[in-house]
Structure 1
Amino acid sequence: MKHIDPARYLEQPFGQLADLINAHAVNQPERIALDDSAEKLSWAETAALVNRIAAQLQADGLQKGQAVAILGTTTVRYALAYLGAIVAGGCAAPLTTSATPTQLANMMRDSGAMHLFIDNAKRAELLESGEALPALKHVMLDRAVDDAPMIFDWMAEEGAMPADPEVGPKDPYNIIYSSGTTGTPKGIVHSRQMRWYHAAVGEATGYGKPGQVTLLSTPLYSNTTLALFTPTIAYGGTIVLMGKFDCQRWLELAQAHRASHTMLVPVQYQRLMDFDGFDDYDLGSLTHKYCTSAPFSAELKAEVLKRMPGGLIEIYSMTEGGVVCILLCHEHPDKLHTVGIAWGGSEVITVDEQLNRLPAGEMGELVGRSQTMMSGYKNQPEKTEEASWYDENGDRWQRMGDIGKVDADGFITLMGRTKDMIISGGFNIYPRDLEEALMAQWGVADAAVIGVASRQWGETPVGFVVAEAGVTLDPEALKAATNATLGKTQRLSELRLIDELPRSHIGKILKTELRDMVGET
């Protein structure tokens, strides 16, 4: 193993996560690296297990850059499989647990994986569905079943080390699949260089310092989680993982572990603020509280600042990349209505409906670029192009999907979304997918779905349906039948019957009028 100083190593333009993991095992072997309450591992144990997993992946024939699929509840072993894939030279492909069996099968095929690390609950769900699954080698995250070995029985012998995969900056690090796709999913590919930028955030952020603990309650298949997971691993901190968010349990863990860093989506902050007994817990160890993934109201930011210790940092970006905006809420209480300023060399401009660059300060569609841009959508170059904007020099920028403006101080205010994407509980829901599911039901002539404000979820999908002539529809039965075909995070919360959908003169559904209808009730 290389003897390196992780903090100095991370000052390089590029490096290998494997070197950092092994360095932590040498420099702080007894410090806890991963803890999910059921299982916890020191850095020495973590490095040894990650290396054995990586060595076995290579022995099984994993090729450089090949995907390794992972499906299950977030646990220590899930994290080990993820890190093992990276160290082996592969590409981690965590799959969304809320996706339908059909969606998951499509993701597996699209990824090109040969391995699937999975827990018993998800494996049983897939097998019971009857969905035709690709022939991947199953490795169980919890216990062996049938011909699928448990991860610790499958991995290479004690002391095994993987061969140097000789990966470079452009090689893939991970694929994150967009939620809410009914056909071929969009796999967002991130390069190792992109993740290196995510990891090397600097010592001032506090990662890896003595006593530094990151508490994570969002899943490892989400870029939201990786925003803190990656630098904590890189700097050798401690990560406490929750398989599912629960207010009381989160507060207990934050207090017991003296958590210093955490990432929560807005709906989780709201639930904590609403939780009886919140003020009874000692959260004085918190220094860095992060938020991303969904609209974060100025009112909620102000309440969090008032009631929770430590700094509050909002991150605005996309899994695809583009501009990265940071709002240090504790330093700018007069800017809580914004998402902050372009950060770390990021750039953002606005364009009009014809995609022409607008003068500075004018409201328009946001396009941005940064060091953390995706490589593209896997196997879907046409989708990558649709999401791109090119400047006069031919440089690619990411279309952010939002309407916004930049004030005189450089702070960005979001005015609305160019697309009608719904963000519910931190997860993206695409109305078109739900509309297609509704249209597939018997007796439906027309359908539209919008997002409405929800205290519980931030936003929630509401559907409108027009029945075929002579057909009487039961909205509750129709909603249940439709939801049965959707992923858990996609499901409609309400379905309304309507005589006719409001449309413009060119036939476009006027969703603003549908939102007004909801607002009238």
Structure 2
Amino acid sequence: MGDTGQLYGCTTVAALYRSAFKTFADREALVGQDIRLTYGELEARCHQIARLFLSIGLRRQDGIAMLAGNRVDAMAAIIAAQLLGLRYTALHPLGSAEDQAFVLRDAGIQALVIDTPRHGERGAALAGLGIVRHVLTLGPAPFGTDLVAAAATMDAGDSPLDVQAGDVFKIGYTGGTTGKSKGVVQSHRTAVTMTLQQLACWEWPDEARFLATTPISHAAGAAILPTFLQGGTVVFMDKYDPLAFLEAVARHRITCTFLVPSQIYGLLDFAGLADHDLSGLHRIWYGAAPIAPARLAEAIGRIGRIFGQIYGQAEAPMTVTYLRADEHDPARPHLMGSCGRPIPGNDVRLLDTQLREVPPGEIGELCVRGPLVMSGYLNRPEETAKTLAGDWLHTGDMARRDAAGYLYLVDRAKDMIISGGFNVYSSEVENCLAAHPAVAMSAVIGVPHAKWGEAVTALVVLKPDASVTEQALIDFVTAHKGVVCAPKSVSFETALPLTSLGKLDKKSLRARYWGGQDRQVS
């Protein structure tokens, strides 16, 4: 007898949030901007915002985008969108106006929510483009509708819950080879799988008090729902710095958090680290970029064996593999270079170009199967087919596996740079540089950087008789692609090395900077 969709269907993110609200109504859920909300109070605020969305004509599977920082009202708006089954898209907080406008058009966004205290000027510019029908602001602004004030007039009772398991939960944008971002389509299947895997494998403390130090539009946002399902508390940081982090851990009795490697490096380099008591902090999850094994060993020695490494990507978020706290073992130093072992529920293999699994010790592309994998790229059938060829998600990461099953990332097949936890796609920066009238050719690579992991570096060949300064090119990319994508340095070359096929030989370029290292990520 075959399965039927309704009988064996997946639950939804909306249903998981509602479960947490009803189960832990009187517990403290969310803290930020001098606001403290219980689960019951947060639920009421979410239902008010949901009714506001309905009042302006938004319906299930309409697109909503947000440009916001770590604010309580922003989180309530995100949850409200999920309760209604809207397709949620986060705009990169450091992205350029050009890229953000592209995302609004590509995703068919109908409503845009702007955190005006942080992004008012950009929000006004985006609103003026006329791409979206509705612009909502988190507080009073000279444009749009004040979401906070308008929602306060709405009924706080349970709003309609009309979300289907097969609905699109989120469209998250990541770089593409054409220079334009790709929308990664995630259904509720992906989000629910990730959440259940987090709960099962991430070694949560008995009392979950999670400090969100990175944008909720990125990695920190993925830890909120599993925290809520345990009746825990999420505390928002407006902006990360080591002292503010240490003070927040003590003041809010934080037991767990997520940091990118550059934040861990900042903690280690902070002169006052030893003066603060971190004994109540039971888990620091880290990821979003490779970590330097030597610095990881230093962190374990100075902070303790409380670290858990996560590995995933936008196409299979957060929970592909995990390296447990007890595996951060000074007696097994080789594990400091590992991203752990596959999380149960994921079929993870290292494959060659013929989709054959490579033996232990040999390098292959890390490929994934299972319910965690995305549905595809929005409006990109050819790229979807390529990335999901042979019914595998091809991550583009090259890795080797040891006899015990631990995985070690050694290089990236895709020319992606990870700087400070943010993904920078070299092709996007190269395409931007190509638009400058003085530039004939460029190659963009990541080079080792003690704090950021990798620094974006451009090697540029100018057109005959053309001239331009390093700073002018950096400013050009900043204006068109945002500060994250801007090169930290520019090297002017007379020519760039090419392969026999006429492609840029980035391997030889990287060798200038990565010589003597046993892996090509940092």
TM score, norm. by length of structure 2: 0.89
Deviations 1:164-195 (A, max 9, x none): 21x23221111211158886421112111221
Please state if 1:109 is matched with 2:82.
Answer: no
Moved more, 447-456 or 378-387: 378-387
- RMSD across aligned C-alpha pairs, in angstroms? 2.5
2:265 to 263, 270, 286: 270
Task: Structure 1: give runs of 5+ residues left out of the alignment.
Answer: 1-11, 391-395
Aligned to 1:188: 184
2:156 corresponds to which letter in structure 1?
Answer: G
1:337 corresponds to which letter in structure 2?
Answer: G
Aligned to 1:36: 32
Classify 1:164/1:28 alpha carbon distance in 2 versus 1 (closer, same or farther; 3 Å). Answer: closer
Q: What are the within-5 Å matches in structure 2 for residues 306-385 of structure 1?
A: 306-309=301-304, 311-321=306-316, 324-333=320-329, 334=332, 335-359=335-359, 361-385=361-385
Deviations 1:382-441 (A, max 9, x none): 221121131xxxxx2111111111111000111211122100011110111111111111
Classify 1:48/1:501 alpha carbon distance in 2 versus 1 (closer, same or farther; 3 Å). Answer: same
Classify 1:353/1:199 alpha carbon distance in 2 versus 1 (closer, same or farther; 3 Å). Answer: closer
Aligned to 1:99: 95
Cα deviation for residue 315 of structure 1 reads 0.9
CA contact (8 A) 2:136 2:145 kept: yes
Aligned to 2:518: none
Deviations 1:231-265 (A, max 9, x none): 11233210011232111111111111111111111
CA contact (8 A) 1:140 1:149 kept: yes
Classify 1:124/1:80 alpha carbon distance in 2 versus 1 (closer, same or farther; 3 Å). Answer: same
Please state if 1:153 is matched with 2:156.
Answer: no
2:400 to 399, 402, 405: 405
Please state if 1:302 is matched with 2:297.
Answer: yes
CA contact (8 A) 2:35 2:72 kept: yes
Aligned to 1:482: 477
Cα deviation for residue 26 of structure 1 reads 4.6
Distance in 2 (alpha carbons) for counterparts of 1:270 and 1:373: 31
SS in 1 for 2:146: coil
Distance in 2 (alpha carbons) for counterparts of 1:174 and 1:277: 40
Aligned to 1:70: 66
Aligned to 2:422: 427
Cα deviation for residue 295 of structure 1 reads 0.6
Moved more, 304-313 or 425-434: 304-313
Cα deviation for residue 101 of structure 1 reads 1.0
CA contact (8 A) 1:348 1:367 kept: yes
2:159 corresponds to which letter in structure 1?
Answer: P
CA contact (8 A) 2:169 2:191 kept: yes
Deviations 1:17-75 (A, max 9, x none): 44454454454433221112432211111010111112222233222222221112121
1:138 to 113, 135, 140: 135
Cα deviation for residue 375 of structure 1 reads 1.4
CA contact (8 A) 2:51 2:155 kept: no
Classify 1:202/1:74 alpha carbon distance in 2 versus 1 (closer, same or farther; 3 Å). Answer: closer
Classify 1:175/1:398 alpha carbon distance in 2 versus 1 (closer, same or farther; 3 Å). Answer: same
Classify 1:309/1:32 alpha carbon distance in 2 versus 1 (closer, same or farther; 3 Å). Answer: farther
Deviations 1:51-105 (A, max 9, x none): 1112222233222222221112121111001100001121221111111111111
Aligned residues: 501
Cα deviation for residue 319 of structure 1 reads 1.5
Aligned to 2:520: none
Cα deviation for residue 494 of structure 1 reads 0.3
Distance in 1 (alpha carbons) for counterparts of 2:78 and 2:133: 17
Deviations 1:316-368 (A, max 9, x none): 12110187111114335211221111111222222224544434553212211
Aligned to 2:213: 217
Distance in 2 (alpha carbons) for counterparts of 1:130 and 1:156: 24
CA contact (8 A) 2:124 2:143 kept: no
Distance in 1 (alpha carbons) for counterparts of 2:244 and 2:9: 39
Moved more, 195-204 or 245-254: 195-204
Classify 1:170/1:207 alpha carbon distance in 2 versus 1 (closer, same or farther; 3 Å). Answer: farther
Distance in 2 (alpha carbons) for counterparts of 1:297 and 1:484: 31
1:250 to 229, 245, 253: 245
Deviations 1:430-481 (A, max 9, x none): 1111111111112211111110011121111111111212223322323323
SS in 2 for 1:83: helix
Distance in 2 (alpha carbons) for counterparts of 1:188 and 1:260: 32
Distance in 1 (alpha carbons) for counterparts of 2:294 and 2:205: 32
Aligned to 1:9: none
CA contact (8 A) 2:30 2:37 kept: yes
2:158 corresponds to which letter in structure 1?
Answer: M
- Aligned-residue sequence identity (percent) comes to 30
Aligned to 1:464: 459
Distance in 2 (alpha carbons) for counterparts of 1:366 and 1:481: 35
Moved more, 312-321 or 366-375: 366-375
Classify 1:63/1:380 alpha carbon distance in 2 versus 1 (closer, same or farther; 3 Å). Answer: farther
Distance in 2 (alpha carbons) for counterparts of 1:277 and 1:13: 52
Task: Structure 2: give runs of 5+ residues left out of the alignment.
Answer: 1-7, 516-522
Moved more, 469-478 or 61-70: 469-478
Aligned to 1:4: none
SS in 1 for 2:131: coil
Aligned to 1:80: 76
Q: What are the within-5 Å matches in structure 2 for residues 426-445 of structure 1?
A: 426-445=421-440
Aligned to 1:164: 161
Cα deviation for residue 497 of structure 1 reads 0.8
Distance in 1 (alpha carbons) for counterparts of 2:382 and 2:307: 38
Distance in 1 (alpha carbons) for counterparts of 2:17 and 2:149: 19
